[in-house]
Amino acid sequence: MKKPFERFIEGGLALSGVVTILTTLAIIWVLLSESWGFFREVSIVSFLTDTEWTPLFTNKHYGILPLLSGTVLTTLIALLTALPFGITISVYLSEYAPKKFRQSIKPALETLAAVPTVVYGFFALTVVTPFLQSFIPGLSTFNALSAGIVMGIMIIPLIASMSEDALRAVPKSLREASYGMGATRFQTAFKVVVPAASSGIIVSVILGISRAIGETMVVAIAAGQQPTLTLDPRDAVETITAYIVQVSLGDVQHGSIEYKTIFAAGISLFVFTFILNHISYRLKKKYQEQYE
Amino acid sequence: MKFIEAKDVNVYYGDNHVLHDINLSMKENTVTAFIGPSGCGKSTFLRTLNRMNDYIDTFRLTGKLEIDGKNIYGKKVKVEELRQEVGMVFQKPNPFPKTIFENVAYGLKIQGNKDKDFIEERVEKSLKQSALWGEVKDKLHNSALSLSGGQQQRLCIARTLAVKPTIILMDEPASALDPISTAKIEELISELKASYTIVIVTHNMQQAARISDRTAFFYLGNLIEYDKTTEIFTNPKNKQTENYITGRFG
């Protein structure tokens, strides 16, 4: 016989689990039902192939590609910024830094992740863009480059911290084996520890990508709000998230086609990040098996 | 000839004095066993021989430790070169999560060796020396983690041999293995003696008696007795040694 208190706790835990799942299901339901309405009016083919996204104009086009290219472009720039720094920092912290230094720098790094994204957005617009304009000709006030770089800076702590965890999870015995054969610290770090932690590092990068794709404030503020099908980082672009904000804040009528575009864009974003998170989950599982 | 020689070696971890005035010398092509209860300093001493303790922040050593007449804690010594001379096999098999081939080739590759034929030849030779070749020759490109514990340990020995050390340090190399794998490792040690100088830490006194030429008994950071293995086990001079080998403590 279980004690009543045990049962109460168990029930409470189960309930909180169910609430999370129900919330997710509810979100998916809303996304599906509202975008269903959208796709009854706009064919999925033109949604995926039209190169213009102008639902708020008189001449309406509903092609997701410009928003997608804006999202991919800013995310790519963010990744190119964050990856080298994030990995270098994580290797330094896990393999080189003295224990005390690591213990004080890691919380500081994680604080960086706690800065509100709107602050990052204005940092991009008022500091990074003017700085970049001083040597990049033709850089618009709103541009993908500066938003992407700042988003990269924003996800550095995430990648660095999670990669560091993965690196430190590599057993000490592997490092000793490498040192024992005459390897230097550098060789040990990059030929043994990093490869052994590679799936963990990839997971951190994928979560970083998910974060960049879902990021809203920085791109809404600094990248402009012009859906353009371009891969030129100097141009103003609009990402899926920025579009959703733009429309949600405007005076679009509830139930109208313009209103439904929010959900069509939202479900595209959802599918995108869902796939990425799924990949990262699979990798994580594989990685956990390796040493257990 | 005195190949490895320790003169008044003292080791400290911070304020903790873990080895007291160790004086001992080992000859070339012999097997020396270090025995003693847990925490007696035998592993610490073993690890001073390839400077593996360097990574412990508070580690400090005084006295002189010479290999082939060279002070290995001298200022000009490159620790990476020292470790190519003094290989090490650890307590738990610790193959890299790479292929069998890559594990054995690792030591050569980090030395900058790019000659494919040479590496292949050396990998084969090392695996033959460690009596593993027959079991793995058809699956060299499988993961080393797919091998059994005993095979992994022989792989680790092969990996160490590939670098061509003159001395091999073994830190309880069979303590995590089953009796059959242990027997194989012991057999291997007797064969390797012809070409290498071996220093082995072991908890297993029968093992020390079976495979070593000389035995050193450590207790509480002191070297209590060091003599021919047969002497230590049949005619120990020190009361503590006798108590330990007869199983009265430890």
The Cα–Cα gap between A225 and A74 comes to: 13
Q: What six digits make up the tokens of B78?
A: 């490159």
Q: For position B22, what pLDDT does the model report?
A: 95
According to DSSP, the residues that pair with A70 across neighbouring strands are none
pTM equals 0.83
Q: Residue for token digits 């000659």? A: B115
Cβ contact, residue pair A173, B94, below 8 Å = yes
Q: Which residues lie below 8 Å from residue A265, measured CB to CB, with a gap of 6+?
A: A64, A67, A240, A243, A244
The Cα–Cα gap between A122 and A183 comes to: 46
Q: How confident is the model at residue A292 (pLDDT cuts 50, 70, 90)?
A: very low
The Cα–Cα gap between A67 and A198 comes to: 32
Residues of chain B with C-beta less than 8 angstroms from the C-beta of A200: none
Q: Are β-strands B2-13 and B86-89 bridged in parallel, bridged antiparallel, or unpaired?
A: unpaired
Q: How confident is the model at residue B1 (pLDDT cuts 50, 70, 90)?
A: low
Output the 3-class SS for chain A. Answer: CCCHHHHHHHHHHHHHHHHHHHHHHHHHHHHHHHHHHHHHHCCHHHHHHCCCECCCCCCCCECCHHHHHHHHHHHHHHHHHHHHHHHHHHHHHHHHCCHHHHHHHHHHHHHHCCCCHHHHHHHHHHHHHHHHHCCCCCCCCCCHHHHHHHHHHHHHHHHHHHHHHHHHCCCHHHHHHHHHCCCCHHHHHHHHHHHHCHHHHHHHHHHHHHHHHHCCHHHHHHCCCCCCCCCCCCCCCCCHHHHHHHHHHCCCCCCCHHHHHHHHHHHHHHHHHHHHHHHHHHHHHHHHHHHC
Whether B200 has its CB under 8 Å from any CB of chain A: the answer is no
Whether A178 has its CB under 8 Å from any CB of chain B: the answer is yes
Average pLDDT estimate for A148-152: 96
Report yes or no: A169 and A200 within 8 Å, Cβ to Cβ: yes
Residues of chain B with C-beta less than 8 angstroms from the C-beta of A192: 96, 106
Cβ contact, residue pair A182, B106, below 8 Å = no
The Cα–Cα gap between A235 and A224 comes to: 9
According to DSSP, the residues that pair with B4 across neighbouring strands are B26, B67
pLDDT digits (tens, 9 = 90+) for B149-196: 999 999 999 999 999 999 999 999 998 889 998 998 999 999 999 999
Residues of chain B with C-beta less than 8 angstroms from the C-beta of A99: 57
Residues of chain B with C-beta less than 8 angstroms from the C-beta of A95: none
pLDDT digits (tens, 9 = 90+) for A158-191: 999 999 999 999 999 999 999 999 999 999 999 9
Q: Write the single-letter amino acid at B191.
A: E
The Cα–Cα gap between A191 and A197 comes to: 11
ipTM: 0.92
pLDDT digits (tens, 9 = 90+) for A218-245: 999 999 888 989 888 999 999 999 999 9
If one counts every other C-beta atom within 10 angstroms of the C-beta of residue A255, the result is 10
The Cα–Cα gap between A290 and B176 comes to: 19
Cβ contact, residue pair A290, B145, below 8 Å = yes
pLDDT digits (tens, 9 = 90+) for A49-100: 999 998 888 888 999 999 999 999 999 999 999 999 999 999 999 999 988 8
Q: Are β-strands B16-27 and B2-13 bridged in parallel, bridged antiparallel, or unpaired?
A: antiparallel
> Is the pLDDT at A287 greater than 80, yes or no?
no
> Is the pLDDT at B2 greater than 80, yes or no?
no
- Interchain CB contacts (distance < 8 Å): A and B: 68
Cα A128 → chain centroid: 20
Whether B107 has its CB under 8 Å from any CB of chain A: the answer is yes
Whether B97 has its CB under 8 Å from any CB of chain A: the answer is yes
- From B190, B105, B94, select the one nearest B145 (Cα to Cα): B94
Q: Which residue has the higher pLDDT, A287 or B245?
A: B245
Instruction: Give the 3-state secondary structure of residue B163.
Output: coil
The Cα–Cα gap between A210 and B149 comes to: 40
CA distances from B236 to A62, A287, B242, B244 (A): 92, 51, 6, 10
Residue among B82, B90, B111 whose CB faces A176 most closely: B90
Residue of A nearest to B161 (CA): A181
Residues of chain B with C-beta less than 8 angstroms from the C-beta of A181: 83-84, 87, 106-107, 110, 159-160, 163
Residue among A179, A182, A196 whose CB faces B97 most closely: A196
Cβ contact, residue pair B81, A171, below 8 Å = no
